[in-house]
């Protein structure tokens, strides 16, 4: 008789303390996330020392909440899964130490999970995504294209040569005085001006699948300087009170990112015609406009499109649990010697 898996998954790779429970036959039964955004917003980005201290404070509560919501106790579990790479070392260590302590005390098996792999399969939690498919992953720390053949078989086709798309959104947002993280705020402002392209920021001209976003951030800065909206000496955006100008910049930025994404996806589908679907994952995949544009692009190319719902797009432990259940079913366990990699 195969074991009925009940898995507790823990995710602490960056600034979200998260835990989730997977039960065979039911799927994800709890998904608890404590976001540290408010703690880091005053600094305009994630401060690693603050992140690890906050994980330490919250991890016990988050794990207990995930077990309570799932109606499980520690002894009911079969396996503990934890993100071990990549991420902030101090943050990863909090999750790993917690997972190891629980596994050792309750005599449970343990599995280490790659955070990127978890994101790549996050669209599969709620959807029956066919294989092989193309995956565009866009988060704050990563932007890359993958060819996905199955849960154990995926290859990176191209990644960003410099900044991630989310990083570009966050940096431009900071430049024009929007709060951290910039992505949601950029989306809100761009919607007010119907996603029009006011400033036609330069698109990446590279003929390869590789992505690049640092030039875009610089282009926004130079354009603002040229228009007299940015004082380079004082490092000050002079139109901070002008909501219309901020919305136009946000909208032009988003349109430029959307065009870059669709151009690369179209090119990848030409190069890899075996792809039966496109998935769009990572925190940036919360963006409704980008999802609509990519869905349209996929449909035009004759393939289906999937994106995780926002709760599974930003960092969460449900995506860790999803990959963990596959590893458990295929006997890919680790030992308590498990360590982080970053």
Question: With CB under 6 A, what is the number of residues at the site for ligand KG4?
Answer: 19
The CA-CA-CA angle for residues 206, 208, 210, to 5°, reads 85
Pick the closer one to ligand KG4 by CB: 83 or 204: 83
Q: What are phi and psi of 236, to 5 degrees?
A: -135, 125
For the bound state, the minimum distance from the C-beta of residue 146 to ligand KG4, rounded and expressed in Å, comes to: 15
Interacting residue with ligand KG4 among 5, 11, 163, 187 (CB under 6 A): 187
CA atoms within 13 A on the CB side of 157: 22
Residue 9 tokens, joined: 């998954």
* Cβ atoms 94, 60 nearer than 8 A: no
For the bound state, the minimum distance from the C-beta of residue 133 to ligand KG4, rounded and expressed in Å, comes to: 19
Interacting residue with ligand KG4 among 163, 182, 297, 318 (CB under 6 A): 182
Name the segment binding ligand KG4 (CB under 6 A); options: 22-30, 55-63, 245-253, 280-288.
280-288
* Cβ atoms 79, 108 nearer than 8 A: yes
Interacting residue with ligand KG4 among 5, 11, 170, 334 (CB under 6 A): 170
103 is a site residue for ligand KG4 (CB under 6 A) = no
**Contact flags string 239-278 toward ligand KG4, x per CB under 6 A:** ----------------------------------------
33 is a site residue for ligand KG4 (CB under 6 A) = no
Place of tokens 């989306």: 187
For the bound state, the minimum distance from the C-beta of residue 264 to ligand KG4, rounded and expressed in Å, comes to: 17
3-class secondary structure, 319? helix
d(CA 96, CA 74): 16
Which residues ranging from 62 to 101 are in contact with ligand KG4 (CB under 6 A)?
Answer: none
* Cβ atoms 15, 45 nearer than 8 A: no
For strand 153-159 and strand 133-138, is the pairing parallel, antiparallel, or unpaired?
unpaired
Interacting residue with ligand KG4 among 90, 112, 166, 308 (CB under 6 A): 166
Interacting residue with ligand KG4 among 98, 184, 250, 279 (CB under 6 A): 184
Name the segment binding ligand KG4 (CB under 6 A); options: 23-31, 70-78, 177-185, 243-251.
177-185
Interacting residue with ligand KG4 among 141, 189, 307, 328 (CB under 6 A): 141
286 is a site residue for ligand KG4 (CB under 6 A) = yes
Which residues ranging from 308 to 337 are in contact with ligand KG4 (CB under 6 A)?
Answer: 314-315
* Cβ atoms 180, 170 nearer than 8 A: yes
* Backbone φ/ψ region at 25: left (φ over 0), alpha (ψ -120 to 50), beta: left
Pick the closer one to ligand KG4 by CB: 112 or 282: 282
* Cβ atoms 205, 211 nearer than 8 A: no
Residue 301 tokens, joined: 């190319």
Residue 118: how many other CB atoms lie within 10 Å = 26
Residue 37: how many other CB atoms lie within 10 Å = 14
Site of interaction with ligand KG4 (CB under 6 A): 14, 139-141, 166, 169-170, 181-184, 187, 282-284, 286-287, 314-315
């Amino acid at each position: 008789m195969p074991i009925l898996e009940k898995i507790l998954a823990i995710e602490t790779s960056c600034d979200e303390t998260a835990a989730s429970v997977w039960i065979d036959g039911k799927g994800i039964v709890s998904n608890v996330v404590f976001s540290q955004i408010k703690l880091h917003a005053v600094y305009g980005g994630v401060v690693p020392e603050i992140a690890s201290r906050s994980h330490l404070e919250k991890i016990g509560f988050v794990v207990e909440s995930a077990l309570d919501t799932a109606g499980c106790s520690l002894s009911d579990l079969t396996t503990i899964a934890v993100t071990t790479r990549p991420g902030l070392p101090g943050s990863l260590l909090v999750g790993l130490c917690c997972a190891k302590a629980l596994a050792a005390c309750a005599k449970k098996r343990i599995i280490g999970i790659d955070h990127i792999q978890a994101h790549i399969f996050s669209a599969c939690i709620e959807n029956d995504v066919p294989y092989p498919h193309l995956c565009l992953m866009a988060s704050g720390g990563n932007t890359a294209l993958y060819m996905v053949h199955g849960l154990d078989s995926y290859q990176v086709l191209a990644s960003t040569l410099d900044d991630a798309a989310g990083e570009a959104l966050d940096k431009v947002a900071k430049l024009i005085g929007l709060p951290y993280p910039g992505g949601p705020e950029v989306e809100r402002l761009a919607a007010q001006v119907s996603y029009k392209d006011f400033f036609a920021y330069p698109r990446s001209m590279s003929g390869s699948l590789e992505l690049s976003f640092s030039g875009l951030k610089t282009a926004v800065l130079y354009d603002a300087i040229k228009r007299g909206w940015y004082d380079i000496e004082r490092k000050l955006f002079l139109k901070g009170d002008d909501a219309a100008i901020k919305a136009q910049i946000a909208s032009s930025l988003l349109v430029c990112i959307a065009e870059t994404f669709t151009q690369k996806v179209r090119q990848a589908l030409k190069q890899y015609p075996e792809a039966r679907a496109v998935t769009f994952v990572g925190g940036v995949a919360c963006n409704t406009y980008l999802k609509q544009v990519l869905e349209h692009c996929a449909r035009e190319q004759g393939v289906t499109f999937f994106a995780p719902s926002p709760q599974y797009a930003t960092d969460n432990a449900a995506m860790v649990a999803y990959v963990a259940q596959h590893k458990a079913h295929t006997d890919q366990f680790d030992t308590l010697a498990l360590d982080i990699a970053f």
